[in-house]
């Protein structure tokens, strides 16, 4: 999902909840419905509940999670299988979550950390506001102290004076979050049992400046439904050029969806350069397959039943010949984002907005260059025909009724560095 659109949808959702009486203050929230019982272990967090405290483990009487999310009276919490692991080991395969009731809705925010995917790295997924705002990338845990400012629970927020800052502390570890290209996006504090979410680039409305606790029993968690609703993004998508219904998607969570012959799902493994991929179906009655990368960038899919198909990469990268940048107002965020136009070597162009580490398409075009005047003429689908100044140094773009952004009018200048 495009993060900007999701951000705006979440804004609308939060405003609607507030109108219904739900408190969705950006300064923090309650862990109502959170099944985790481990409390922050850092002594510097003075306002963080001590181990064994139930202050943020159960919602208030008027904010109880639905009955089907409450443990039975005789149900005991299972033993923590990761209790003796280091923070770097605990994070692998774990969920770190934060939740609270807003009216009749259980607002959920969580991180899901996967193990290393060969050729890519250790993958994470973040689903905020019930998976309405999502982030995917890679991560690393380093033994480096990080200061944080996080509310330990909703009660502390409500008891604080208006405008008060969240309590501060120091975590012994740091989680660095990267995009899929290896660029550092943001970092936060970590101690193995708690993730101190005070990030600015990776965040969701209602889940800021809060302690996200490790869920020691995710299968029986009140948030299990949200965990299962994770929007797993593809890291590689292939298509049969002779049959657009024959596709293969490898997802960041280690699973795949195979529709080359018939619909099959399962898990995959691949080598460091992703040139050899093995598909293992979930059902014994389905065929597995091997996928091999060819020198021309295509992939050869070979099923266990002997079927062999040469497939293309969906959305294969194009070379950028010319790059233009301007500014665009991000609705609802009161900040300016980048308005970027990339002109590719196949004479197509893409115009998009970039903000908060996310992108949203605005328009597409084809273009040609007058080799005498070096004027570039772009034929936008929504903005119509636009000609640059001499030598292509800049152009003015204008269009009305662009989804989310409304009317757009901006000058974009060629980036020469």
The pLDDT tens digits of the residues spanning 179-192 come to 877 889 999 999 99
Listed in sequence order, the residues at least 6 apart from 201 whose beta carbon sits closer than 8 Å to its beta carbon are 185, 186, 356, 357
Residue 69 has what pLDDT?
Answer: 38
Residue 233 phi/psi, 5-degree rounding, is: -90, 150
> First-to-last CA distance in the chain?
31
Tokens of 415: 């980036």
Q: Which residues contact 270 (CB under 8 A, 6 or more apart)?
A: 117, 118, 119, 250, 276, 277, 278
Collect all residues with Cβ–Cβ distance below 8 Å to 355 and sequence separation of at least 6: 4, 330, 333, 335, 337, 338
pLDDT digits (tens, 9 = 90+) for 313-322: 886 556 788 9
Q: Are strands 348-355 and 299-303 parallel, antiparallel or unpaired?
A: unpaired
Q: Tell me the domain boundaries of the chain.
A: 3-228, 234-313, 320-414
Q: For residue 133, what pLDDT is reported?
A: 86
Is this structure's pTM higher than 0.95?
Answer: no
Range picked from 4-8, 116-120, 153-157 for highest mean pLDDT: 153-157
d(CA 348, CA 350): 7
Q: Which CATH architecture has domain 320-414?
A: Beta Barrel (2.40)
98, 128, 127: which is closest to 210 by C-alpha? 98
Q: Which of 61-70, 101-110, 228-237, 267-276 has the lowest mean pLDDT?
A: 61-70
Contact 155, 56 (CB under 8 A): yes
Task: State how far the Cα of 343 lies from the Cα of 366, in Å rounded to an integer.
Answer: 8
Of 23-27, 224-228, 311-315, where does the model show the most confidence?
A: 224-228
Whose CA is closest to 391, among 379, 417, 373, 416? 373
What pLDDT, on the 0 to 100 scale, is given for residue 60?
Answer: 39
């Amino acid at each position: 999902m495009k993060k900007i659109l999701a951000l705006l949808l979440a804004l609308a959702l939060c405003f609607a909840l507030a109108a219904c009486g739900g408190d969705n203050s950006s300064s923090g929230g309650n862990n109502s419905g959170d099944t985790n019982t481990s409390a922050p272990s850092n002594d510097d967090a003075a306002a963080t509940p001590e181990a064994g405290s139930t202050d943020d483990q159960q919602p208030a009487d008027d904010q109880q999670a639905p009955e089907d999310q409450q443990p039975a009276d005789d149900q005991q919490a299972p033993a923590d299988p990761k209790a003796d692991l280091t923070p770097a080991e605990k994070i692998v395969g774990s969920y770190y979550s934060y939740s609270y009731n807003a009216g009749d809705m259980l607002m959920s925010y969580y991180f899901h950390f996967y193990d290393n995917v060969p050729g890519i790295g250790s993958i994470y997924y973040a689903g905020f506001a019930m998976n309405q705002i999502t982030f995917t990338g890679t991560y690393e845990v380093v033994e480096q102290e990080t200061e944080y400012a996080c509310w330990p629970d909703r009660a502390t927020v409500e008891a604080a004076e208006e405008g008060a800052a969240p309590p501060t502390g120091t975590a012994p570890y740091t989680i660095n979050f990267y995009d899929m290209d290896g660029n550092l996006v943001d970092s936060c504090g970590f101690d193995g049992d708690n993730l101190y979410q005070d990030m600015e680039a990776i965040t969701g409305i209602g889940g800021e400046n809060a302690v996200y606790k490790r869920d020691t029993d995710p299968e029986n968690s009140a948030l299990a439904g949200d965990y299962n609703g994770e929007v797993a993004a593809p890291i590689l998508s292939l298509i049969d050029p002779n049959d657009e219904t024959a596709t293969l998607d490898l997802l960041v969570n280690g699973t795949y969806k195979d529709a080359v012959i018939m619909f099959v799902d399962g898990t995959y493994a691949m080598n460091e350069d992703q040139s050899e991929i093995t598909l293992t179906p979930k059902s014994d009655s389905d065929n597995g397959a091997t996928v091999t990368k060819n020198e021309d960038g295509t992939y050869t899919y070979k099923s266990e039943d002997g079927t062999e198909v040469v497939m293309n990469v969906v959305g294969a990268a194009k070379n950028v010949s010319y790059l233009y940048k301007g500014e665009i107002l991000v609705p609802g965020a009161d900040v300016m984002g980048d308005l970027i136009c990339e002109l590719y070597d196949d004479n197509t162009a893409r115009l998009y907005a970039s903000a908060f580490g996310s992108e949203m398409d605005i328009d597409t075009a084809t273009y040609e260059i007058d080799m005498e005047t070096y004027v570039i003429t772009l034929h936008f689908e929504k903005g119509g025909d636009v000609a640059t100044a001499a030598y292509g140094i800049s152009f003015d773009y204008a269009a009305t009724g662009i989804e989310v952004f409304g009317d757009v009018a901006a000058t974009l200048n060629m980036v020469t560095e």
